């Protein structure tokens, strides 16, 4: 299974890097892709890091993941090719996942209609069509959403669970010293 993590300037570094790190610990084929004209991504808190590649709307992936951060969210919203890719993947019943401010992208794109979802507190009014939930991580079929930086590791482990199953997810969680139940 191939996973694409969308990296945009202004993204929340904790979320972006935790997702990639945890998926790689589970030996998932994951690629961080830049939506700008540079492989260097400028995080929301002044931490620069490198993407693996540039976004390619034709690249085949089974899961797309959108980290949050308001600046990152806004830069993803400005990328019509990324929005089109998310919509296409949702239409094809592939995984579309977002954390923090990024679930609002799914709401604005009509992807959350009738789906359970969560986001960063205070942005719920932008989850158009969603059945809003309070959990740290919410799974509704192939839509997985989460609240923010403090829930990034739980979110990433749920992505592993979706891809590789309970045994691998629980093993990775144990190695990360996550002890509490990971889903609501």
Digit-by-digit pLDDT tens for the chain (184 residues) are 999 999 999 999 999 999 999 999 999 999 999 999 999 999 999 999 999 999 999 999 999 999 999 999 999 999 999 999 999 999 999 999 999 999 999 999 999 999 999 999 999 999 999 999 999 999 999 999 999 999 999 999 999 999 999 999 999 999 999 875 555 4
Chain centroid, CA 147 distance in Å? 11
| Cα–Cα distance measured from residue 32 to residue 52, given in angstroms and rounded to the nearest whole number | 5
Looking at residue 179, what is its pLDDT? 74
Q: Is 165 exposed, middle or buried (0-12, 13-18, 19+ CB in 10 A)?
A: exposed
CA–CA distance from 90 to each of 12, 22, 36, 46, 97 (Å)? 23, 23, 23, 32, 10
Q: Is 100 a catalytic residue?
A: yes
Domain limits of the chain?
2-175
Say what the pLDDT of residue 184 is.
46
Q: Is the pTM value of this prediction over 0.85?
A: yes
Q: Hey, which residues does 144 pair with through a beta bridge?
A: 97, 139
pLDDT value of residue 159:
98
Question: For residue 36, what are the β-bridge partners?
Answer: none
Residues 86, 97, 100, 119: which is the catalytic one?
100
Protein fold of 2-175:
Rossmann fold (3.40.50)
Residue 180: predicted pLDDT: 59
| Res 89: pLDDT | 97
């Amino acid at each position: 299974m191939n996973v694409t993590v969308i990296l945009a300037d202004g993204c929340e570094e904790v979320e972006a890097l935790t997702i990639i790190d945890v998926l790689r610990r589970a030996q998932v084929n994951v690629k961080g892709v830049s939506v700008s004209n540079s492989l260097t991504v400028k995080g929301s808190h002044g931490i620069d890091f490198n993407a693996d590649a540039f976004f390619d709307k034709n690249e085949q992936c089974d899961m797309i993941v959108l980290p949050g951060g308001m600046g990152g969210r806004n830069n993803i919203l400005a990328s019509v090719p990324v929005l089109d890719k998310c919509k296409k993947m949702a239409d094809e019943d592939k995984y579309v996942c977002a954390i923090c401010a990024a679930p609002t992208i799914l709401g604005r794109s009509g992807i959350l209609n009738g789906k359970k979802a969560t986001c960063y507190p205070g942005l719920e009014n932008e989850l158009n069509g969603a059945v809003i939930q309070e959990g740290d991580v919410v799974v509704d079929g192939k839509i997985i959403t989460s609240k923010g930086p403090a829930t990034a590791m739980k979110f990433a482990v749920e992505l592993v669970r979706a891809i590789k199953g309970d045994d691998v997810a629980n093993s990775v969680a144990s190695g990360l010293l996550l002890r509490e139940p990971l889903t609501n």
